[in-house]
Structure 1
Amino acid sequence: MPYKQKQALTEETGMKCLLSLMVNFITLSAAFPPDRKDKNEENNQLAQAYLNQFYSLEIEGSHFVQSKNRSLFDGKLREMQAFFGLTVTGKLDSDTLAIMKVPRCGVPDVGQYGYTLPGWRKYSLTYRIMNYTPDMTPADVDEAIQKALQVWSKVTPLTFTRISKGVADIMIAFRTGGKACSEGSDFFEDHRELTYLPINCLSVHGWCPRHFDGPLGVLGHAFPPGLGLGGDTHFDEDETWIAKDGEGFNLFLVAAHEFGHSLGLSHSNDQTALMFPNYISLDPSKYPLSQDDIDGIQSIYGSPPKVTTKPSGNSEPHACDPTLTFDAITTFRREVMFFKGRHLWRVYSDIAGAEFEFIDSFWPSLPADLQAAYESPRDELLVFKDENFWVIRGYSVLPGYPKSIHTLGFPRRVKKIDAAVCDHDTRKTFFFVGIWCWRYDEMAQAMDRGFPQRIIKCFPGIRLRVDAVFQHNGFLYFFHGSRQFEYDMKAKNITQVIKTNSWFLCNEPLNASFNVSVKGKANSIGTVILHHKRLSLLTFSIVHVLTKTYN
């Protein structure tokens, strides 16, 4: 073949190949438009930055496409999806992206914040507002901060005092921009006297390791209790802050969340909790704390104390009052506690006399007028009022209480417990409700089958409603009105009937007709009371006859 003809054929073949490549390129370009590719890259970068900041991904640049980094990325993505209750796929789907784009707190969801941190070692804390946002009046900012702190002081023993000079436990500032300030800043010397924020960035200690990202995104951050930055709270000035309704973010809600971190709380995955990381617009007039928030903060600081005011007049009970009755009685280690209204008496087995105290001087969160109490084999005290009960260990009410009595296995028709006692020999607890008796297995943590039964069947001779009961030296002591009935568990009978306040060693003599010794076969409370009435009637008849004869 001539050379020119061969060359022309080669050029024609090359043109066909080039044309084919161009057609394929156009087809591929149509299938994957540039804007979609750019969008995927943008979403990947958003996800990487989000996981770096809040889930400790720690991958630099866009190198997560490598197999090892991709595996880390997918793992952290699953962790984030599980935290927010999403379908755990490890894939960057639309639901996951939507969560990542919601404005939120700048504190990580994992790491040292993955659990409740140690709190402050004191209850009296100070705070200082370093500067103000121009979005709100200073008075509105002051009010929002004060109310946000009160959210936590209402459920704890914490108190917050504002100071205007010096370093407070919680330093509060509005910051802006992505750079931290240094002491070389032109405005540093005046930072602590600023009213509004005139500079690009502000940190009350001169430098802050966390940065803000402009409008939306991160709204604020805070540091856990401790020295230096510990407790400090910063808000992003690039956001629009509001006091009530309107376009923007409610400062009160964001501040209350951030102060939770200042006090030692981590983020919660409970979407009803204030400590949920994403901003949720709530009605500021309503109480923002969920039970999850309350349980968390009280696990660090305990419950709030109640203001004790000594009652006046005849409201204070007297130990030697012959008509004295009790709300509840229980043993507690080596003492017996008698509850009445807002008070209790403590009687020790090896000490004469009784100590008279306010209930809230020991347990500030307990209500007055308790209705039942008993000591469990786990060295815990359980106290009851209406449909609620509390568990006390040592001298602390356990977090998470009160709980409903129905969690113990009572049917819904039971609205309160009259009395309770644990037989420490059998580790069975008896609950008394009206004329009925339930039995609870402390080891199995469940009600025994075959109950309730009538009290008279479980304890022959006990025919009346039980106000209180406790166990002492192998006997049960049932209280009804101003009398108590000593009951022999083995013999199944009443051994004696005495006044309720016999434990207090009162000096005034007791009516002998109430010191009735009962021996032999089983007797009932009703029988003993009838005996007392007959004795009184006989005495009255004799006196009447003698008077008539004398006249």
Structure 2
Amino acid sequence: MGSYLEVSGGFFCVVFLLFMMSTVVSVPAKTKRGVKSVPQFMRQNVDVKGFLKHYGYMEQKPVGIQDDNNSLGENRAVTLRRAVRKFQQFYGIPDTGELDALTLKKMAMPRCGTKDIERDPRGRVKRFSRLAAKWKHSYLTWKVTRFTGQLPQASQRSTFSRAFQIWQDSAPLTFTETRKEADIEISFVRGNHGDGPGNAFDGRGNILAHAYGPGEAPISGDAHFDDDEYWTLDDERGTNLLVVAAHEFGHSLGLGHSRDARALMYPAYQSQDNLKLGYDDIRGIQTIYGGKIGPNPRTVAPQTRRPRPRVTPRPTSGPATTSQTPESCQIQFDEVVRVDGDNYYGLKDSEVFKFNKDGLTSGYPKPITEIFPEAPPSVDVAFAVPGTSRVYIIKDLKVWRYTKFELDAGYPIEIPRRHFREKPRFVMTFRDDTNYQRVLLFGSDYWWEYDFDNRQTFAPNSYRIRRFWMNVPRDVRYAVQYSDSYFYLVSESSYLVMNHHRRQAVGEKKRAGLPVWLSLPCSSTGTIRSTITVLLVSFGGFLLKVLLNTQ
């Protein structure tokens, strides 16, 4: 009996030790390659390398090129770790590079099958992902070529119409269902459905749908939905067709995936009770197509140049001072910034001219550092953000930010060179039709959007000016939004009036000379007021004589 107890006791000890060893092995721990291991049951449903390659985080080597197993083992581990970090950064989770439980959970979420990061045939990341493409026409047609048998056809068509309407509410686009050839064809399919093995669906879960961006190919704009999914309209147990359709139609219009988890274009499926576009969605669609078309900013015509008489300075008892009107009233400003309503600050060399509708403010011009402390003597770009009392000055990738003409703490800051595709020449800043503040920088060939108040981790996407802003010349010195709400893009001897909502020039393509309101610095506020006073007194005297003569 005692020997039996000893043997059974030893047996149970061995079993207990084996159990403890298996438990310890399954706890995440550092491996030789620097990536945490995770329990096998969490990894068995995720092909990590396949996932990272499919969605653009890892380069897919061309057929016939193999790794040297004797020398590149460690390099492969570094490559995997780097790809995991990119994925974590995209999804907004701690970018440790470790394949932990949270990372695997994100990888296993139901999602769109469209790539997060686009690469060219040589494996290089495309600088212009899907935002480089747009439809050349604003009236788009769609049709369903294959319905699912899970829902009534009328409900499916109504759902797709609602999904298109979500985008139509924020962009100058119109969508119409047709039975003829359509720009966007919609179909429910299964498995390998004819657009390549790499785009095959995988049954229920994981990939829900995918879509193709605008273009000339037969498949351009088309959206495919996996018919193995459990599609519903208002049942929490399945996948909401409206949410997925609205996301896929974003791809059909040219949008890529968003890193913002609040955006509709976030890669992973997220059910929403009140479906609407996020800020990043609106910014993206309006980056491609402009704001929602409505009435002109103002019904008045833009200010045009009229002939001006030559101003002859009055004789003075001494030499001319810098506060006098510049010769011929043709001030070629380096920048003009509109601040606090209708006050304009013209920067010329190291001086500042303040003017408004009454003319040049008394005491100006002044040294730039007197208005903007610690500012550089010359600037590349200067602009103000409406409604914030903030002015920004950029010089050689450094940014000075002023609030109520006081330099903010921590400024100037330096912008990483990779964040600017080229040297900025002018800026357009405005609130869009959803009341979001937009700051658009323009170089000679490219334009991009930037947030100067929050440090950006990633370089912004940049786009060809000629594809998105018609007739904008390459020699613009600065842009300023005048009180008529139009932007005036001023060159050395001409200017262009731009409707930023429609992204097109108003009237003529280019106008000779300078806008008439830029002649305001040619007269001082005091002079104009004195003239008005003299006229009023003269008119009063005339009126008094008329009254006396009638008595």
Asked if 2 retains the 8 angstrom alpha-carbon contact of 1:241 and 1:250, the reply is: yes
- SS of 2:282's partner is helix
Residues 1:299 and 2:287 aligned together: yes
What pairs up with 1:145-294 in 2 under 5 angstroms? 145-166=160-181, 168-176=182-190, 178-180=191-193, 209-226=198-215, 227-284=217-274, 286=275, 288-294=276-282
Q: Structure 1 residues 528 and 111, CA, compared in 2 at 3 Å: closer, same or farther?
A: closer
Are the equivalent residues in 2 in contact too, given 1:172–1:234 (CA < 8 A)? yes
In the other structure, the counterpart of 1:536 is 539
Alignment of 1:347 onto 2:304: yes
C-alpha deviations, 1:38-95, integer Å up to 9, x for none?
95166066133422322346599xx999655444332221221121122222222111
Matched with 2:95 is 88
Q: Is the 8 A contact 1:475 1:487 kept in 2?
A: no
SS at match of 1:270: coil
Partner of residue 79, structure 1: 86
Distance 1:208 1:98 in 2: 25
- How far does the alpha carbon of each residue in 1:281-300 deviate from its partner, in whole angstroms, 9 at most, with x for none? 2223x5x2222222222222
Q: Is the 8 A contact 1:212 1:218 kept in 2?
A: yes
Q: Which amino acid aligns with 1:235?
A: F
1:40 aligns with 2:40: yes
CA distance in 2, matches of 1:423, 1:135: 65
CA shift for structure 1 position 104 = 1.0
Deviation at 1:21, TM superposition (A): 13
Q: 2:303·2:515 contact (CA, 8 Å) conserved in 1?
A: no
Question: For 1:427-466, what aligned pairs fall within 5 Å after superposition?
Answer: 428=352, 430=354, 442=382, 443=393, 446-447=401-402
The answer to whether the 8 Å contact 2:337/2:346 transfers is no
Secondary structure of the residue that 1:430 maps to in structure 2?
A: strand
Number of corresponding residues: 363
CA distance in 2, matches of 1:26, 1:145: 58
Residue 142 (1) aligns with residue 157 (2): yes
**CA distance 1:26–1:418, change in 2 (3 Å):** closer
Secondary structure in 2 aligned to 1:111?
coil
- Label 1:376 to 1:229 Cα distance change in 2 as closer, same or farther (>3 A): farther
- 1:131 corresponds to which residue? 146
Measured in 2, the distance between the counterparts of 1:476 and 1:53 equals 53
What's the offset of the Cα at 1:237?
1.6
Secondary structure of 2:208 counterpart: strand
SS of match in other structure, 2:143? strand
Query: Contact 1:104/1:279 (CA < 8 Å) preserved in 2?
Result: yes
Q: Indicate the structure (1 or 2) with the bigger Cα radius of gyration.
A: 1
Distance 1:220 1:538, change over 3 A: same
Alpha-carbon deviation of 1:433?
12
1:448 Cα deviation from its structure 2 partner: 9.3
Q: Assess, with a 3 A threshold, how the Cα gap between structure 1 residues 348 and 35 changes in structure 2: closer, same or farther.
A: same
- Distance in 2 (CA, whole Å) between partners of 1:128 and 1:208 is 25
Contact map agreement 1:376 1:422 (CA 8 A) in 2: no
Task: Structure 2: state its 5+ residue gaps.
Answer: 1-9, 28-37, 120-124, 310-330, 365-369, 376-381, 383-392, 395-399, 407-482, 494-512
Cα separation, 2, equivalents of 1:92 and 1:279: 21
Cα contact 1:157–1:305 (8 A) shared by 2:
yes
Structure 1 residue 382, shift from structure 2 partner: 7.1
- Residue of structure 1 equivalent to 2:466: none
- Three-state SS of the structure 1 residue aligned to 2:146 is coil
Q: Distance in 1 between matches of 2:16 and 2:544?
A: 123
Q: Structure 1 residues 262, 537: CA separation in 2 closer, same or farther (over 3 Å shift)?
A: closer
TM-score (structure 1 length as normaliser): 0.54
Question: Cα offset for 1:427?
Answer: 6.0
2:548 pairs with 1:545: yes
Name the CA distance, whole Å, in 2 between partners of 1:87 and 1:545: 88
Q: Deviations over 1:116-169 (max 9, x none)?
A: 332233333222211222332222211221122222233333332322133x22
Q: Determine what percentage of the aligned residue pairs are the same residue.
A: 27
Question: Normalising by the residue count of structure 2, what TM-score does the alignment of the two structures yield?
Answer: 0.54
The residue aligned with 2:116 is 109
Whether the aligned pair in 1 keeps the contact of 2:184 and 2:221 (CA below 8 Å) is yes
Alignment of 1:318-467 (within 5 A): 341-349=298-306, 417-420=341-344, 422=346, 424=348, 428=352, 430=354, 442=382, 443=393, 446-447=401-402
Structure 2 residue identity aligned to 1:52: K
Distance in 2 separating the partners of 1:376 and 1:249: 60
Shift in Å, 1:28: 4.0
Q: Structure 1 pair 82/24, CA: closer, same or farther in 2 (3 Å)?
A: same
Contact 2:258 2:266 in 1 (8 A): yes
Correspondence for 2:54? 53
In structure 1, stretches of 5+ residues that fail to align are 1-19, 181-202, 309-338, 353-374, 384-407, 409-415, 452-466, 498-524
Within 1, Cα distance between the matches of 2:220 and 2:201? 18
CA spacing shift, 1:376–1:299, aligned 2, 3 Å: farther
Amino acid of the residue matched to residue 121 of structure 1?
A: K
Matched residue, 1:120: 135
What is the SS of the residue equivalent to 1:422? strand
Rounded to whole Å, the distance in 2 between the matches of 1:237 and 1:119 is: 28
1:376–1:104: structure 2 CA closer, same or farther, 3 Å change rule? farther
| TM-fit CA distance, 1:276 | 0.9
Counterpart AA for 1:274:
L
Q: Which residue of 1 aligns with 2:104?
A: 97
Once residues 220 and 517 of structure 2 are traced to their aligned partners in structure 1, the CA distance between those partners, rounded to angstroms, is: 55
Question: Alignment partner of 1:343: what SS?
Answer: coil
- Aligned partner of 1:155: which letter? S
Which structure has more relative contact order (CA 8 Å, sep 6+)? It is: 2
* Inter-partner Cα distance in structure 2 for 1:76 and 1:259: 28
CA contact (8 A) 2:303 2:516 kept: no
The answer to whether the 8 A contact 2:144-2:186 is kept is yes
- Contact 2:211–2:222 (CA under 8 A) maintained in structure 1: yes
Gap change, CA 1:255 and 1:89, over 3 Å in 2: same
Q: Deviation per CA, 1:240-293: give whole Å up to 9, x if none.
A: 222235322221221111111122221111111111111122223x5x222222
